Amino acid sequence: MKLEIIPHDASRIAALAEALGGNGRPAGAASAEATATSVLLDFDESVTSLRTIVDVVDVELAPSPGRRIVPLEPLGDETLANFASATLNVPDLDAIRLVETHLDPLLRKARG
């Protein structure tokens, strides 16, 4: 999975890139490249969950909170469900319960 992580405080970019790509990085992190405005992260979600990545980002940005995380490839239903499950602390939340899974076909039908 590829993400662009844009901290509100650009002075945190180097520290964020180090936390995500240096020694002690999350196990699934393949690369973390600092740019002038963000960190480009490539990680294996079968090894490290999106929730864990977001938690690492938020801990690293705690001295100067605020960020935007942009997926650079589509997030699958299972990824979204796992993230929602971990975030909401609802262990049995799965992709079938995601609103978008059911909403998209209805919207396509309505547009006709």
8-58 pLDDT, tens digit each = 999 999 999 999 999 999 999 999 999 999 999 999 989 999 999 999 999
Paired with 67 in beta bridges are: 7
Question: CB of 77 within 8 A of CB of 98?
Answer: yes
Run of H or E residues at 58: helix 50-60
Distant-in-sequence, close-in-space partners of 76: CB < 8 Å, separation ≥ 6: none
For the cut 80, the answer to whether the pLDDT of residue 103 exceeds it is no
